[in-house]
């Protein structure tokens, strides 16, 4: 796909859109909570990829995780911009900068969490879907999925553990520009800390349990491609 | 610390915890009924059907790196953790069982007894308490998936924006753009559908001779039909025939090919089985013509008793894709958008260009009156002014006497005006010629014959 894009094949661009448009649009919508803004981000993300197909490094992770990272970056940048604009317009009534940062961080985390859910192995996602959205208890979940109760408990726990890694990433600081390193975007737990790239001066947002140095090596799950 | 063997067997109602109690998770769901004594699940292979994923240990078992990884976290390497069977309801479950319940606890998906046992345990087990907090925070990140459907027109806007910034070195020919857009739109519809919807009955309707015909199939059957007929174009371009060795001998015919596919083993695979192959073939078609460029635009594609140049075959397939996507959308009660105006205009234009031949076919079949006079090839003859209004509309001048004659405004003997949606429904055989809501003026026979000829453009 990357080669076809680099070669300037319009058909590949169409296929790229079909594969990732709903991911891009939904992540942008989660960050910005606005349909038109999500449309705009979708246009910008695909234009960026089309113009810079070489900026994706397959060694760093899947194309899907990279696209998600580009999207979140663009959406967070846009959110930062609109928040700054509205703060300027509000004058003295503007929210404190810390408040704005908090909002941006939450939006970024929510987008990561969405990505993790869509990328986690289907058995884990299905278990979470039943237990949380369908409000089934774990025994019913086990019965619905045709697995043992042990297995249902294990899937719920593991699914939430994966999801909790969404907190382990920092929101993109204002100085961070267009280097989309895939290690900032991968949903696999292994990538969440160890390879955190230097992103400006802001200290990483640390979760109360601290960096999980005991995280196992990435086993490749969560890779959709 | 806190390994399974170190659990001290203290009862649930043991002494007060030293650690602050972690507040309960989200409100418990509706009553699940009593489940007093946590029977250990039968020890079977815990891998279950989770083979898709490799069963590695959880990502953040315990942040304290000096703690050895607990065995229950690696079910595949230790398939028989064999908890001691608990027959008496009184003792609290061991640490490893409580730990395994943390996910269910955070989701309020345990029994009341288990919830109490877990919360008791959290007061004196630091590692479980840490994890419990983390998992409960994670629950807050669960969010229902957006049900927002992407605006189908966003695709062309996004692609145009991209190509404006960096022109394609290998563009999609513009006569293939409607096919590209319509297949993408149908693909998006199919991806939104659940498996049960693929079994929905779909009524295919078209017009034969003087009467409408219909045929019942399923969504899966429609996709097989689209794939089998797209295969005509694929084979003309040297791509593999989706019917493979089952392809019927002789002149390619859309109806025969469809029925062959429906009868073939491929046609009886699971309901969604046709989606991937159909999409792969449509992508291949678009890619193939992109690389071939203008050279193949006039390549003849055989359709049984007639041929279409490739550029028109792509328009025909775009039209069919839209019409059948509409059939599917109606069957599963989804909204479905018409093609973009520029694409619709090309489709109407193709139908208008095919009308003189369709009239001639009907005459040969004795279904229409013979021409009133003979016209030399290329000379102007009696003409019907077809005015299509609305989205993608325009004016067309249809030669009535022969396909070789020229339709011109000067020789107009009749005028029909109808909406583009109505015209397309008529050309798809979805409405009867007598019932088409058309403004009419001029020779009644000419009008009738053109309306019938339009309906006769439809086929399975």
Whether residue B142 and residue A47 make contact (CB cut-off 8 A), yes or no, is: no
**Six-digit token string for A30:** 């989660």
Beta strands B300-302 and B211-218 are: unpaired
pLDDT given at position B90: 55
B233 lies in the same domain as B255: yes
**Six-digit token string for A126:** 């299905």
Q: Is B290 on the interface with A (CB under 8 A)?
A: yes
B260 lies in the same domain as B193: yes
A208 Cβ contact partners less than 8 Å away, ≥ 6 residues apart: B133
Q: Which residue of A has its CA nearest to B279?
A: A15
**Alpha carbons A145 and A122: distance in angstroms, whole number:** 11
Domain closes at, from B315, B337, B359? B337
Phi–psi pair at A94, nearest 5 degrees: -65, 145
B112 lies in the same domain as B248: no
Q: Which residue of A has its CA nearest to B28?
A: A135
Name the pLDDT band for B268 (thresholds 50, 70, 90): low
Q: Is B126 on the interface with A (CB under 8 A)?
A: no
Q: Tell the residue number behind the tokens 């209004």, with chain if given.
A: B389
B112 lies in the same domain as B223: no
Alpha-carbon dihedral A163, A166, A168, A171, rounded to 10 degrees: -170
Name the pLDDT band for B455 (thresholds 50, 70, 90): very high
Q: Which residue of B has its CA nearest to A157?
A: B103
pLDDT given at position B37: 41
pLDDT given at position B14: 38
B328 lies in the same domain as B349: no
- What's the mean per-residue pLDDT of chain B? 81
B296 lies in the same domain as B360: no
**pLDDT (average), residues B248-261:** 84
Task: Specify if B28 maps to a domain.
Answer: yes
Q: 3-class SS at B216? A: strand
Beta strands B394-399 and B439-442 are: unpaired
pLDDT given at position B60: 45
**Six-digit token string for A95:** 């929210």
pLDDT given at position A196: 38
Residues from chain B that touch A36, judged by Cβ atoms under 8 A, are none
Task: Specify if B149 maps to a domain.
Answer: no
The lowest-confidence range among A87-101, A185-199, B13-27, B423-437 is A185-199
**C-alpha distance from B23 to closest chain A C-alpha (Å):** 17
B210 lies in the same domain as B90: no
B128 lies in the same domain as B176: no
Closest CA to A132 of B119, B49, B138: B138
Question: What secondary structure does DSSP assign to A51-74, as a single string?
Answer: H-GGG--GGGS-HHHHHHHHHHHH
pLDDT given at position B22: 57
C-alpha angle B172-B299-B363 in degrees, rounded to nearest 5: 120
Evaluate if residue B412 carries a pLDDT over 60: yes
Residues from chain A that touch B180, judged by Cβ atoms under 8 A, are 11, 14
B214 Cβ contact partners less than 8 Å away, ≥ 6 residues apart: B203, B204, B205, B206
Percent of chain B with pLDDT over 70: 79
Q: Which residue of B has its CA nearest to A123?
A: B50
- The ipTM assigned to this model is 0.75
Evaluate if residue B152 carries a pLDDT over 60: yes
Q: How many domains does chain B have?
A: 3
| C-beta separation of A208 from A87 below 8 A | no
Best of B36, B47, B109 to disrupt the A interface by mutation (most A CBs within 10 Å)? B109
**Alpha carbons B111 and A52: distance in angstroms, whole number:** 53
Cα–chain-centroid distance for residue A22? 13
Task: Specify if B435 maps to a domain.
Answer: yes
B350 lies in the same domain as B328: no
Give me the CATH number covering residue B243: 1.20.120.450
B120 lies in the same domain as B44: yes
Task: Specify if B363 maps to a domain.
Answer: yes
pLDDT tens-digit readout, B415-433: 999 999 999 999 999 999 9
**Alpha carbons A203 and B129: distance in angstroms, whole number:** 26
Whether residue A221 and residue B56 make contact (CB cut-off 8 A), yes or no, is: yes
pLDDT tens-digit readout, B76-95: 444 444 455 555 555 678 88
Q: Is A23 or B367 the better-scoring residue by pLDDT?
A: A23
- Residue range(s) defining the domain that contains residue B201: 154-337
Evaluate if residue B408 carries a pLDDT over 80: yes
pLDDT tens-digit readout, A69-89: 999 999 999 999 998 888 888
**pLDDT (average), residues A158-168:** 91
Domain closes at, from B320, B337, B354? B337
Task: Specify if B148 maps to a domain.
Answer: no
Name the pLDDT band for A29 (thresholds 50, 70, 90): very high
Which one is the CATH code of A2-191: 1.10.287.3510, 3.30.70.380, 1.10.1740.10, 3.90.1150.10?
1.10.1740.10
Whether residue A17 and residue B52 make contact (CB cut-off 8 A), yes or no, is: no
Q: Tell the residue number behind the tokens 């009644």, with chain if given.
A: B444
B131 lies in the same domain as B168: no
**Alpha carbons A45 and A24: distance in angstroms, whole number:** 8
Evaluate if residue B8 carries a pLDDT over 70: no
Cα–chain-centroid distance for residue A72? 6
């Amino acid at each position: 796909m990357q080669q076809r894009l680099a070669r300037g094949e319009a058909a590949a661009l169409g296929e790229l859109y079909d594969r990732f448009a709903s991911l891009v649009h939904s992540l942008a919508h989660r960050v910005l909570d606005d349909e038109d803004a999500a449309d705009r981000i979708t246009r910008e993300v695909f234009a960026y990829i089309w113009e810079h197909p070489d900026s994706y490094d397959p060694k760093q992770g899947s194309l899907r995780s990279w696209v998600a990272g580009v999207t979140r970056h663009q959406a967070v940048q846009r959110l930062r911009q609109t928040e700054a604009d509205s703060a300027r317009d509000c004058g003295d009534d503007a929210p404190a900068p810390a408040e704005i940062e908090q909002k941006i961080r939450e939006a970024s985390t929510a987008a990561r969490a969405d990505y993790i859910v869509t990328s986690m192995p289907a058995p884990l996602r299905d278990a979470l879907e039943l237990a949380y959205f369908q409000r089934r208890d774990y025994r019913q979940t086990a019965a619905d999925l045709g697995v043992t109760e042990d297995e249902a408990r294990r899937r719920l726990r593991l699914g939430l553990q994966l999801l909790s890694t969404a907190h382990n990433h920092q929101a993109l600081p204002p100085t961070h520009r267009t280097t989309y390193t895939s290690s900032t975007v991968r949903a696999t737990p292994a990538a969440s800390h160890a390879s955190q790239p230097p992103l400006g001066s802001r200290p990483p947002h640390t979760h109360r349990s601290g960096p999980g140095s005991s995280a196992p090596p990435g086993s490749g799950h969560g890779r959709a491609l | 610390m806190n390994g399974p063997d170190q659990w001290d067997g203290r009862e649930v109602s043991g002494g007060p915890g030293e650690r602050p109690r972690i507040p309960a998770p989200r409100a418990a769901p509706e009553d699940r009924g009593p489940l007093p004594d946590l029977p250990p699940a039968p020890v079977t292979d815990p891998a279950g059907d989770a083979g898709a994923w490799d069963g590695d240990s959880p990502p953040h078992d315990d942040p304290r790196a000096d703690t050895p990884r607990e065995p229950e976290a690696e079910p595949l390497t230790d398939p028989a953790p064999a908890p001691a069977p608990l027959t008496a309801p009184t003792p609290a479950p061991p640490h490893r069982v409580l730990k395994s319940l943390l996910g269910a606890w955070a989701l309020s998906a345990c029994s009341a007894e288990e919830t109490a046992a877990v919360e008791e345990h959290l007061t004196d087990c630091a590692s479980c308490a840490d994890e419990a907090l983390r998992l409960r925070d994670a629950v807050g990140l669960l969010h229902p998936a957006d049900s927002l459907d992407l605006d189908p027109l966003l695709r062309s806007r996004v692609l145009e924006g991209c190509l404006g910034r960096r022109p394609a070195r290998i563009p999609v020919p513009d006569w293939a753009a409607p096919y590209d857009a319509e297949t993408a739109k149908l693909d998006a519809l199919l991806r939104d559908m659940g498996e049960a919807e693929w079994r929905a009955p779909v009524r295919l309707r078209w017009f034969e001779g003087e009467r409408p015909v219909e045929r019942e199939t399923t969504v899966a059957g429609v996709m097989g039909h689209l794939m089998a007929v797209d295969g005509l174009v694929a084979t003309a371009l040297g791509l593999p025939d989706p019917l493979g060795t089952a392809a019927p001998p002789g002149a390619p015919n859309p109806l025969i090919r469809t029925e062959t596919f429906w009868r073939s083993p491929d046609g009886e695979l699971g309901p969604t089985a046709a989606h991937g192959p159909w999409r792969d073939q449509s992508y291949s078609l678009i890619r193939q013509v992109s690389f071939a460029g203008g050279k193949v635009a006039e390549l003849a594609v055989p359709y049984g008793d007639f041929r279409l140049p490739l550029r028109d075959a792509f328009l025909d397939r775009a039209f069919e894709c839209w019409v059948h996507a509409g059939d599917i959308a109606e069957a599963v009660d989804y909204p479905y958008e018409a093609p973009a105006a520029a694409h619709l205009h090309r489709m109407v234009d193709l139908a208008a260009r095919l009308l003189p031949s369709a009239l001639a076919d009907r005459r040969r079949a004795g279904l229409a009156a013979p021409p009133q006079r003979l016209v030399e090839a290329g000379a102007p003859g009696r003409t019907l002014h077809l005015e299509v209004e609305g989205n993608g509309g325009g004016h067309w001048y249809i030669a009535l006497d022969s396909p070789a004659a020229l339709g011109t405004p000067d020789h107009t003997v009749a005028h029909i005006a109808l909406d583009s949606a109505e015209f397309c429904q008529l050309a798809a055989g979805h409405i009867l010629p007598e019932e088409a809501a058309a403004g009419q003026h001029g020779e009644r026979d000419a009008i009738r014959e053109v309306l019938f000829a339009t309906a006769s453009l439809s086929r399975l």
